[in-house]
Amino acid sequence: MKTIRVVAAVIRKGDAIFATARGYGEFKGQWEFPGGKVEEGETPQQALIREIEEELDTEIEVGELIQTVEYDYPNFHLSMDCFWAVVKTGKLVLKEAEAARWLTKEELDSVNWLPADIDLIQRLKGKL
């Protein structure tokens, strides 16, 4: 099975984190952390900064790695590095996502997460 290398940003502000709903494709409407595929020659951090610029018109500062999620979807294996991040400049403009929310620990279960994210969400409850 092919492996897709993805990076995702858990953007934090106070006690809330920023989640987006996919605006297109097979997972449309399901919730995730903004990010995307790592391109050749990029570090995960570089890929994440580029993806957040592209998707949200925002410059982030990338913090520590929280977890590398390993998950088997029917057609591919996902290996996803999830980093803490904070906004440096920009207003998180939704250029690709169909919706976004700031979620506190208590609100984390109120959206329909992509299957690969479920484990990370449980872990985040202990960190917020």
Ligand X SMILES: Nc1nc2c([nH]c(=O)n2[C@H]2C[C@H](O)[C@@H](COP(=O)(O)OP(=O)(O)OP(=O)(O)O)O2)c(=O)[nH]1
Closest separation in Å from C-beta 118 to ligand X: 10
Note whether 49 binds ligand X by CB under 6 A.
Answer: no
Half-sphere exposure of residue 41: CA atoms within 13 angstroms, side-chain side: 0
Residue 43: exposure state from Cβ atoms within 10 A (0-12, 13-18, ≥19): exposed
Q: Which H or E run includes 52?
A: helix 44-56
**Distance separating alpha carbons of residues 15 and 6, to the nearest angstrom:** 25
Question: Judged by CB under 6 A, which of 13, 37, 95, 123 binds ligand X?
Answer: 37
Closest separation in Å from C-beta 101 to ligand X: 14
Note whether 33 binds ligand X by CB under 6 A.
Answer: yes
Give the amino acid at 3: T
Question: Residue 10's closest CA among 76, 61, 78, 57?
Answer: 61
Note whether 78 binds ligand X by CB under 6 A.
Answer: yes
Note whether 116 binds ligand X by CB under 6 A.
Answer: yes
Binding track over 83-112 against ligand X, x by CB under 6 A:
------------------------------
Note whether 81 binds ligand X by CB under 6 A.
Answer: no
Question: What tokens does 37 get?
Answer: 């595929």
- For binding to ligand X (CB under 6 A), which residues are involved? 4, 6, 8, 27, 32-33, 35-37, 51, 78, 80, 114, 116-117
